[in-house]
Amino acid sequence: MPSAPSSRRHRFTVRVVVGIALLAGTAFAQRGKPHPAPHPAPAPPGATEAKPGDQKKEEAKTRFDRGMTLFDKKVWDAALVEFLESRAAYPTRSNTQNAAICLRNLNRFDEALDMFEALVKEFPNLSATDRAAVDKEIVELQALVGAIDIRAREDGAQITIDGRERGLTPSPPLRVSAGTHVIRVYKEGFAPVEKRVEVAGKQTLVIEPKLETLTQSGRLSVAEDGGKSGSEVLVDNVVVGKTPWQGLVAIGDHVVFLRGQGNLGTQPASATVRINQVTPIVLALEPLDCNLRVEPTPAGATVALDGVAVGSGLWDGRLRKGRHKIEVAQSGFLPQTRELDLTPGRAERLAVALERDPDSPLWRAEKPNRIYAEIAPSFPIALVLGGETADGGDASFPLGVTGRAHVGYELRSGVGFGLAAGYLYLARTVEDRPSVLRPVGKPEAPGTADDRLSLKGLLIGASAHLHRNTFGEKVPLLLRVGVGALLANVNDRRSGDFTVPGGASIPVVTARTSVDVPYLYLAPEARVGYRIADRIELTAGVEVMVMVALEEARWEPQNAVILGNQGLAGYDSGTIFGSTLLLVNPGVGARFDF
C-alpha cells in the first residue's frame, strides 16, 4: 500500500493533468475582436514537476501563480509583470501564452505579436487546435502592427521608441503598434534627433534622421555613490555606457539614472550641462521594487516624475515604493498632475489624456471665431396648464412638430450668441366634455361637446450657448439657453349633441373660433453632436420650453350656432387653451460652421 505522502502526490498530479486537458481545449477559443476576454493557459507543467532544489522552476511557478490571481481579476499590467518574470526564470508554454494575452489586452500589439511568435518557435509541439488558434491570433495582430525603418547615415546610433531601447543603427525595420510613436536617435558627439510619427497597420514607415555634430557641448560625468562599477548609465532614456562614465552631450538639461543588477537602480535625476564644462553627478543605487508605466495622450506629451522631466511620450520604468507625483504637459493642452502610492511587487499603469486649452494660441488657427447656422426639427410633447375647455372631458396630450433655424457667432472658447426663428404646431382633442347651449329666449340645452384644438405660430428669439469638445474631438456638447416669443393662433373646432325641452337630442354642426395670442418663452437645451466633417456636425438633444401667454384665448358667446328648431344658440364664455405651456422637445439637427 502506498504511503500517505505518495498518495497525496498522486492525487495532485492527477488533478493537474486533468486541469491541463480541460483548459487546453479552450485556451484559444475563437474571438471576433482583437482582444476579447481571454482564456488563460493552465499552470506550467514544468513547474509542477520541479524538484525541491530547482529554484528557477520554483520561482517560475510562484510568479505564475501570482500572475494567475491578477489575471483572474483582469489586472493585465500587473499580471504581465508576473508572467514575464516567470518566463525569465523558466519559460513555459503557459507563461509565454498568458504574457501574450496580457500584452494584447493592453493594446501593446507589437509586443503581443512577438510573444505569440515566440510561443510557436519555442514550443513547436502545440496541439493542432492550439496551433490554429495561435496562427489566427498572429494574423489578427499583424493587421494592427506596422514597422519603422530608421535609416541613419551614422552607424552605432542608439534607437529608442516610446522609451524602449530598440538597438543600434543600422537596424532592420522595427515593429510597432499602429498609432502615434516618439522616436529618439542618439549617438555621442551628435545632437540627438527626436521625432513623432504616425504608423498605420501593415505600414512600413521610412525615417531618415540626420545626426549633426555637436557644435556647442559639455561633458557629463556619472558615478555611483559607493564607487561601484558596471551599472548601466542612461541619459535621456538612452543607455550610453557603464559607471563610471563620462561623455560629450549637448548643453542644457538632461535626465540621468542608473540601472543595476536585479531591481537595483536610481530614480531619474536632472543634470544641467554647460558649454565646455564637466558636470559631475553622483547617484546612489537602491532597491526599486515598483513598476510604473505612464501613457500620455497626446503621445508626445512631456512626462515629469517627482519634478524631473523624464522625456516625451510613454515612460516605463522602476521607482521606489511610496508616493510619487506625475505631471503631464503639452503645448496647447491643459496640464494634469496625478499622485500615486506605489506598492512593492505591483505594476501600475497610468493613462493620462490631456484636454485642449481653448485659450491657447495653438488652436486659434484651427478653431477661429466663426459664424454658424443650425437647423433643428423637434417633436414636442406638451403639458397645458389652465384652459376651461379641457375640464371634465377626455383630453389628449398635445403633440406636434417644431422646426427652427439658428444663426449666430461663436468665439474660439466655445461661447456663442445667436438668433432663432421657426414654426410651432400643436394639436389636441377634448371629447365628451359636459357643456351647455343657450338658445336665444329659450331654456338652456345641456349636452356634451367635442373640441379639436390647435396652436400654431411663429417662434422668434435669441440665445447664448457653450459649445465644447467635452466627449472628444468628434463628439462636442452644446448647452444653450434661449428666450423669445411665440406669435400664436389658437383654433377651436367645436361640435356636440344637446338635449332640448321635450327630451329630443339634437346634433350641432361644427363651429369654429380663432384667436391670436402672444406667448413668451424660456428654453434651456442640451445637445450632443458628432462631427462628420471639419465644419459639419450632426446633433441630437432635448429642449425644455416654458411658455406663458400674455393674453387668454377665449371662446366668446357671440360665436352662435343653430340648435335645430330652437334657433340660434351660444356656448358659455371660457378659455380654450392654457395660459402656461411646458414643452419637452426631443429632436435632431445639423450645424454648419463658416
For residue 469, report the phi and psi dihedrals to the nearest 5 degrees: -85, 65
The CATH 1.25.40.10 domain(s) of the chain lie at 19-143
Q: Which residues contact 102 (CB under 8 A, 6 or more apart)?
A: 71, 76, 77, 79, 80, 83
pLDDT at residue 49, as a whole number: 43
Q: Is the peptide bond before 280 cis (omega within 30 degrees of 0)?
A: no
pLDDT digits (tens, 9 = 90+) for 111-140: 999 999 999 999 998 888 888 989 999 999
Grid coordinates representing 32 are 471576433
Q: What is the per-residue pLDDT for 545?
A: 95
Q: Answer whether 0.85 is exceeded by the pTM.
A: no
User: CATH 2.40.160.20: which residues of the chain?
Assistant: 362-593
Asked if 378 and 545 count as a contact pair (C-beta separation under 8 A), the reply is no
State the burial class of residue 434 (Cβ atoms within 10 Å of its Cβ: 0-12, 13-18, 19+).
Answer: exposed
For residues 184 and 158, what is the distance between their CA atoms, to the nearest angstrom?
8
d(CA 408, CA 489): 28
- Structure confidence at residue 369 as a pLDDT band (50, 70, 90): confident
The pLDDT, as a whole number, for residue 393 is 81
The SS3 assignment for 269 reads strand
Specify the domain boundaries for CATH 2.60.40.1120 within the chain: 146-213
pLDDT tens for 253-299 read: 999 999 888 889 999 999 999 988 999 999 999 999 888 989 898 88
Q: Are 340 and 348 in contact (CB under 8 A)?
A: yes
The closest alpha carbon to 113, from 98, 100, 123, 102, belongs to 100
**Angle made by CA atoms 422, 424, 429, in degrees to the nearest 5:** 175
Across-strand partners of 574? 555
The one-character DSSP state at 573 is P
Q: The domain 362-593 is classified under which CATH number: 2.40.160.20, 2.160.20.10, 1.25.40.10, 3.30.450.20?
A: 2.40.160.20
Work out the average pLDDT over 435-463: 92
Residues 6+ apart with CB under 8 A from 414: 358, 466, 467, 468
Query: What are the tens digits of pLDDT across the range 502-552?
Result: 888 899 888 889 999 999 999 999 999 999 988 899 999 999 999 999 998
CATH number corresponding to 19-143: 1.25.40.10
Q: Which fold has domain 146-213?
A: Immunoglobulin-like (2.60.40)
CA gyration radius for the chain? 38
> What pLDDT is recorded for position 41?
64
